[in-house]
Chain A
Amino acid sequence: MSTHELKARLREQARDRLPAPVVDRIRARASLRERVRVLEAEVQENRQLNRRIAELTDVVAELLIPLEARDQDRVDEVLARYRQGL
């Protein structure tokens, strides 16, 4: 029997001897830990949207005006300048 299996069996035996409310509390705490781990990952994903928003805002704010004016020369000029300014 591997160490992992042995640990699992011992844990099971220990739980069998514990009153049901205690077992439920242990289970709830373990599931809470997992939920916090998932939540932290999701919060971090959301934080990363800040950079995406800033990147898109920057592109749109700098390039939209000459596009709206349908001025191809101006678009080329603005694109070239934007590229140099990154």
Chain B
Amino acid sequence: MTTVVSDDGILLPAASRPFLVEIDGHYVWSLTPERDGVRRAGGVLVPWPGVLRPYLSGRGRVRVTDATGAEVLYDAEVGLGAGEGPLAVVDRAGHRLCVDKVGHLTRSFAATAEEVREEILAGTARAIADLREHAGVKAYLNYGALLGAVREGRMLAHDSDTDLCYLSEHSSPADVIAESYRITRAMRERGWNLLRMSGGDIKLLLPLSDGRLCHIDVFVAFHVGDTFFQLGNRSGPLPRSAIEPFSTIELHGHEFPAPRDPEAMLAFLYGPHWRTPDPSFRYADPPEGVRRLDGWLRGFRTEMGLWTGLFNGPGQREVPAGPSAFARWVAPQLGELPVLDVGTGTGRDALWFARRGVRTGAVDFSRGGLGVVRRKATRRGLDVDAGQLILGELRSTLLHGTRLARDPHHLYARHLVGCLDAAALDQLWLLARMALRPGGGRLFLEFQASHDAPGGATGTPLEPDGLVRRVDPETIRAAIEAAGGVVEHLVVVPGEDMLDRPDPAVCRIRASWPATRTQKENR
């Protein structure tokens, strides 16, 4: 049969071995038809991964080969999507990107120069030293870097980062998380720029001389009873004695601490066939272990990556510039108090408030979005105080609430409510209560409301990419009132979605939080 490349994906023979996909002469993705595809007449159709789709518009050469590159299933010029430009999967700086084993878009080591590889390994060694000497945890090399070191004596092609783990002494998840917070503080004090990925793992961002950031993941590993848990999502039987005391392993001339029994760790991670290369390998994690790790450690950034992908990718251009109709409605009501745009996104309304001379803050959970806001503010000479607020991360909410209690603002949140889960929504009300009670500011909300016509049910996913959901206005009213707020104004009228497309039911709310007696006395 022939292999067919189309907008839907790649149709190829049914097989349970991996194949590599190149676009424009560069590796972008590996797939295993039987695992990743659906049976169709003529073979198996493997759909393009969602993260690649924004890039699949234009003309270019697509090549599909087996894992060794010897067997070529497809090699031809193809036109995809409506675009007429060249087909290439590159970031804004022109760096080549590929899909990694957990489905994220990233740069690959195959495209990394030797001196940059040296920087990555030296940075990894520095991270291990800082973790040991300043954060009090002993880290070992793991995952792809360990596999590469043991199996091939070098870093794996198509691997994009290094992974470190530390074996926690704790067995209660709450203690594991508190330890991770302390590690974060210690590493920040050492000058590391980092991202928190869950209650038990952080990403150290290592700037490289070729302009990109290398990610060094620092994962917790711990035992609960006889079960070993190791982030990402691994769980199963692996005794402490397989890890400690550490052994040492060499990678491109650098010595790294490794699990005491590296082969037992690799079999735990990659199964009994770990010695056979498989670039399209995917973890088969026990679902009950994943459920536990999700419950214990995750939940505050479930959709953060998707939003950041939107703000950093071609989708950002779909969000209009200039003020929304809601901002124009709110502006005359602001008076003397400054305003904080909560869930600012690309900052279109915050920048407009600032241009009108209103002291303006902008917060979002996506650092990608905040980067866009800061760049635009600098370019336009506007003063917008942009910072990260993670509703769902209680420490973040409490800190912003404390600061706003001392520096009263209005809170403005357009199309935020429909993006939040129940826990994050609760923290929005907590923030409003802390921020608005002492100073008398108002909460201004706009969101797409549920309605009776088709497509109007509560929870209906909306643009962009289903990241916004319809919300019942009466549920919001009840939640505000339960949190001590007063709904001063509530209407549901035709309006616009986040991309300014018409929507039949958009709810606008203005709410206040009357001060307590003590707060009034303190004013």
Residue numbers of A with Cβ under 8 A of B are: 43-44, 46-59, 61, 79, 82-86
Contact = CB atoms under 8 A, between A and B. Distances in A.
B395 A55 contact: yes
B72 interface: no
- Which 9 A-B residue pairs are closest in the complex by CB-CB distance? A47-B295, A54-B177, A85-B185, A50-B173, A55-B394, A53-B174, A50-B174, A54-B178, A44-B295
B184 A86 contact: yes
Given A44-B294, A51-B199, A58-B395, 17 more contacts: A46-B295, A47-B295, A50-B199, A50-B296, A51-B177, A51-B299, A52-B394, A54-B177, A54-B178, A57-B174, A58-B181, A59-B394, A59-B395, A59-B398, A84-B188, A85-B189, A86-B396
B299 A56 contact: no
B333 interface: no
- State the main secondary structure of chain A at its contact with B: helix
A85 B402 contact: no
Contacts of A82: 399
Nearest to A49: B174
Nearest to A47: B295
B355 to A, nearest CB: 28
8 contacts: A47-B292, A50-B177, A50-B297, A54-B173, A57-B178, A82-B399, A85-B185, A85-B189
Interface string B163-179: 00000000011110110
**Chain B interface category by residue count:** 20 to 34
A79 B399 contact: yes
Contacts of B188: 84-85
A86 B423 contact: no
Nearest to B402: A79
A51 B399 contact: no
B291 interface: yes
A3 to B, nearest CB: 21
A20 B394 CA distance: 53
Contacts of A86: 184, 196, 393, 395-396, 399
The listed residue with most B CB atoms (<10 A of its CB), out of A55, A59, A82, is A55
Contacts, number: 68
A34 to B, nearest CB: 19
Nearest to B173: A50
Interface of B: 172-175, 177-178, 181, 184-185, 188-189, 196, 199, 291-292, 294-297, 299-300, 393-396, 398-399, 402, 423
Given A54-B174, A57-B174, A44 B291 contact: yes
A52 B297 CA distance: 10
A52 B399 CA distance: 15
A58 B178 contact: yes
Contacts of A53: 174
Contacts of A52: 394
Nearest to A62: B185
B494 to A, nearest CB: 34
Contacts of B393: 55, 86
Contacts of B173: 47, 50-51, 54
Nearest to A84: B188
Nearest to A85: B185
A43 B181 CA distance: 24
A47 B185 CA distance: 25
A16 B173 CA distance: 51
Contacts of A83: 399
Contacts of B394: 52, 55-56, 59
Given A44-B291, A44-B295, A54 B181 contact: yes
Contacts of B178: 54, 57-58, 61
Contacts of A85: 184-185, 188-189
A86 B393 CA distance: 10
Nearest to A83: B399
Contacts of B199: 50-51, 54
Given A55-B394, A85-B184, A86-B396, A48 B174 contact: no
Contacts of B185: 85
Contacts of A84: 188
Contacts of B177: 50-51, 54-55
B130 to A, nearest CB: 14
A55 B296 CA distance: 12
B182 to A, nearest CB: 8
A46 B178 CA distance: 17
A44 B178 CA distance: 20
A54 to B, nearest CB: 4
